Amino acid sequence: MIAHLINTDIGNRGVLKVYLDYRRKNFNFLHNSAKLFLDNLERVLIVTGFPIPPMMVAETDGPPGALAIYRAVEMLGGKAEILTYSEVEKALEPFGVSLARNPEPEDYSLIISVETPGRAADGRYYSMSALEIKRDPLDGIFLKARALGIPTIGVGDGGNEIGMGKIRELVVGHVPHGEKIASVVETDELIVSAVSNWGAYGLVAQASIEVGRNLLEGWDERRVVEAISSAGLIDGVSKTLAPSVDGIRLMVHEGIVELLKAVVDEAI
């Protein structure tokens, strides 16, 4: 149920076919991601921030999801830090998160990406419309972590994000410009969703069921999205300062969150 909810393709971006093929081969991807998450809560690094060309300003998809995971880690007694771009740091300031400075993978028990560009086969970074992203990349720490055997989770919705290298062939086959934009950066576990924030909420919801406690309780989607939009983050589809995510109205995102909360409440 949770996996289906977070893959409701309202934006009609082609991710539904990717999800269906992925789930056929990896039916328990959400459970496996939640287990990896719960088993490695001691010190978690959450990476987020997707700059949108041509402005190269980070979008509203990603930071809310990262914040929800951060909050869940703290609620479960772990410690979390966020690695991101300067404008996202500013946008998240009111929420009192700890920020990572020059992080090294060996300092963490788990590293998670929520909507962060992952390099393509040519070593460059691309938007969904195949425009090149020219900001300092954040995916290097995942390559190091993989080499060191440190657990990693990726959350993405378009195929060009960290973690999507795990299913590159599906991205190439189903997503427009897939051959060019598809990320080659893999993670141990991957959550595919229609909106990356929803994927992060799905992880928190599944973890909630596993521990018998609703970790989404008290989450206010409107407050978070309006706050980061007011701070200067943009909608990645409309490329405006509208308090929306991926061109989808805020009320829809609120509805997804409320449905996830209800699913968890029924399950526990």
In tens, the pLDDT along 16-64 reads: 899 999 999 999 999 999 999 999 999 999 999 999 999 999 999 999 9
Does 2-267 carry CATH code 3.90.1640.20?
A: yes
Domains in the chain: boundaries = 2-267
Q: What is the pLDDT of residues 72-130, one digit of tens each?
A: 999 999 999 999 999 999 999 999 999 999 999 999 999 999 999 999 999 999 999 99
Q: Which residues pair with 113 in a beta bridge?
A: 47, 154
User: pTM of the entire structure?
Assistant: 0.97
Tokens representing residue 48 in the block? 């987020």
Per-residue model confidence (pLDDT) at position 238 = 95
Nearest Cα residue to 199 out of 22, 55, 5 = 5
Tokens representing residue 228 in the block? 């980061």
Per-residue model confidence (pLDDT) at position 18 = 94
* Averaged pLDDT score across all residues of the chain: 97
